[in-house]
Amino acid sequence: MTHVLQFYSVNTTLTAGNGGVLSFPPHFLWGTATSPTQVEGHILNEWTDYRARDGRTCHPACDSYHRYPEDIEWLVRLGVKGYRMGIEWSRLQAGPFAPLNQAELDRYLDQLDRLQAAGITPMVVLHHFSNPLWITKHGGWLNRATVEAFVDYVAKLVAALRGRVRLWNTFNEPDTYGSCSYLIGEFPPGDKWRFRAYCRVIRHMAQAHVRACQVIRQAGPAGAVEVGFSKNWTSFEALHPWSPWDRSIAAMSHLFFNRFVLHRFLGDGRREAATFLGVNYYGRVRFKHTRPMIPTFDFSRDQLAAMGVICDDMFERHPSGMEGALEKMQRQYGLPIYVTEHGSASTDEVFRERDLKENLVALHRAMGRGVDVRGFFYWSLMDNFEWQFGYAKKFGLIGVDFSDEKLPRVMKPLGRVYSAICRDNAVLNF
């Protein structure tokens, strides 16, 4: 379905290019994000024994399982008003259709109550790249029965958290999960080039998403509850537009990772299930001689920079792509948008500050053109376990020293910059 771009009243409150001040609308939700496997530690899911490239595991990550009260103090110090956090399915159910584990539930309830007391709105993510072992054992998301098991879990969880959670995020980046697990072998189960498996996983997740949205919206007071999934938006391009091979690979990637997934989740009327669309935007991937020009594919940042490809430790930075992606998605689906993740990994904090501001300028421009963006969540609250890369990628606003078993946290320069943005509800000196 194609929707006409609407112009919202926020336009009048946006003051771009005003002596270097970009103001955001009142009630714009400034937040930050984490996920259970990446920060909690002490987790029993298919990541537990997974060894990342640095030889380490997701245990104990940041030990947020025990230290969430302290982490909430950091959120307060940052001055964010939103926290996108996951609830880990494997902690709560011991098998299909089992009752929720009360002790584990109580811990999450305490976390949510502390957030509320601190004036921080949680956005709860139901699936962020991890499954209970009993789901993995039965084929994970390849098995249609996983949809029923997930919907049962969601119904029980929603009932248990009634009144505490207003913002729900069903699935985080099904495209990344499906491709890393079944195409490039980087996530458990580590399969490669199983295109049909990838499509099947996406289809099942999309079915589960629609059903979970119904459960959530029926349970919550109408109008108050918001629910959506988060799509990773990556632009795929050929480095040299005249290369037919690179253009074909880029077109195929776009078809598989963007169009197919958006269609399964939002096409044919399925968009009516959700109330918003989450967009995770990091940058773009360009291909040269069929190889992706990004640091994680064995190029150094300097080599890439010499070719005009400016990267953090993960992806090419491409702020104007954020603007284009947001406009395109608003036009196509007409749902309000939350930018549920953006961030950069680097130990160069000056680079990260520039990256953040450039992306917020692009976001602001999109809003000025009528895109209804309701909030922005910086990835991540703190340095954490970055899946196949282990602890090497530094995405945090807060630093964590993983060489010290006490896992001390420290505010980073970017944390201070972000804190000022949240406080001023504006980007200054961009």
Residue 112 phi/psi, 5° resolution?
Answer: -65, -40
* Dihedral sign from CA coordinates of 352, 353, 356, 357: negative
Q: Is 32 in the site for ligand FCB (CB under 6 A)?
A: no
**30 or 187: CB nearest ligand FCB:** 187
Q: How far is the CB of 167 from ligand FCB (least distance, A)?
A: 17
**24 or 418: CB nearest ligand FCB:** 418
Torsion of CA 285, 286, 292, 298, to 10 degrees: -90
Q: Is 74 in the site for ligand FCB (CB under 6 A)?
A: no
Count of residues binding ligand FCB (CB under 6 A)? 12
Among 32, 45, 130, 172, binds ligand FCB (CB under 6 A): 172
Report 180-199 residues binding ligand FCB (CB under 6 A).
none
Cβ pair 230, 282 in contact under 8 A: no
Among 50, 83, 187, 379, binds ligand FCB (CB under 6 A): 379
Spatial distance between the Cα atoms of 41 and 281, rounded to a whole number of angstroms: 26
**24 or 198: CB nearest ligand FCB:** 198
Report 333-362 residues binding ligand FCB (CB under 6 A).
341
List for the chain the helix, strand, coil content (%; round to 5): 45, 20, 35
Distance, C-alpha 418 to centroid of its chain: 18
Among 386, 396, 414, 426, binds ligand FCB (CB under 6 A): 386
Tokens of 389: 């890369």
Q: How far is the CB of 34 from ligand FCB (least distance, A)?
A: 8
Q: Considering only CA atoms, which of 230, 252, 257 is closest in space to residue 341? A: 230
Q: Which residues of 5-26 are buried (b: 16+ CB within 10 A; e: fewer)?
A: eeeeebeeebeeeeeeebbbbe
Q: Considering only CA atoms, which of 276, 154, 130 is closest in space to residue 207? A: 154
Residue span binding ligand FCB (CB under 6 A) among the ranges 12-20, 92-100, 171-179, 362-370: 171-179
Q: How far is the CB of 60 from ligand FCB (least distance, A)?
A: 18
* Packing angle, helices 319-333 and 349-368, rounded to 10: 30
Among 40, 46, 88, 173, binds ligand FCB (CB under 6 A): 173
Report 279-338 residues binding ligand FCB (CB under 6 A).
280
Alpha carbon separation from 32 to 40, 67, 119, 379, 423 (Å, rounded): 16, 17, 14, 6, 14
Tokens of 306: 């010499």
Q: How far is the CB of 172 from ligand FCB (least distance, A)?
A: 5
String of DSSP letters for 246-302: HHHHHHHHIIIIIIHHHHHHHTTTGGGG-S-EEEEEEEEEEEETTEE-SGGGT--HH
Decide the pairing of beta strands 21-23 and 121-127: unpaired
Report 75-134 residues binding ligand FCB (CB under 6 A).
none
Q: How far is the CB of 278 from ligand FCB (least distance, A)?
A: 10
Among 32, 35, 234, 235, binds ligand FCB (CB under 6 A): 35
Q: Is 232 in the site for ligand FCB (CB under 6 A)?
A: yes
Among 30, 260, 387, 402, binds ligand FCB (CB under 6 A): 387
Residue span binding ligand FCB (CB under 6 A) among the ranges 170-178, 217-225, 235-243, 412-420: 170-178
Q: How far is the CB of 218 from ligand FCB (least distance, A)?
A: 28
Q: How far is the CB of 341 from ligand FCB (least distance, A)?
A: 6
Among 111, 176, 330, 346, binds ligand FCB (CB under 6 A): 176
Residue span binding ligand FCB (CB under 6 A) among the ranges 14-22, 155-163, 172-180, 301-309: 172-180
H helix or E strand, kind and range, residue 371? none
Q: How far is the CB of 382 from ligand FCB (least distance, A)?
A: 12
Q: How far is the CB of 315 from ligand FCB (least distance, A)?
A: 9
**173 or 237: CB nearest ligand FCB:** 173
String of DSSP letters for 148-211: HHHHHHHHHHHHHTTTT--EEEEEE-HHHHHHHHHTB--STT--BS-HHHHHHHHHHHHHHHHH
**33 or 274: CB nearest ligand FCB:** 33
User: For the chain, how far is it from start to end, CA to CA, in angstroms?
Assistant: 37
* Residues of this chain that bind ligand FCB (CB under 6 A): 35, 38, 172-173, 176, 232, 280, 341, 379, 386-387, 395
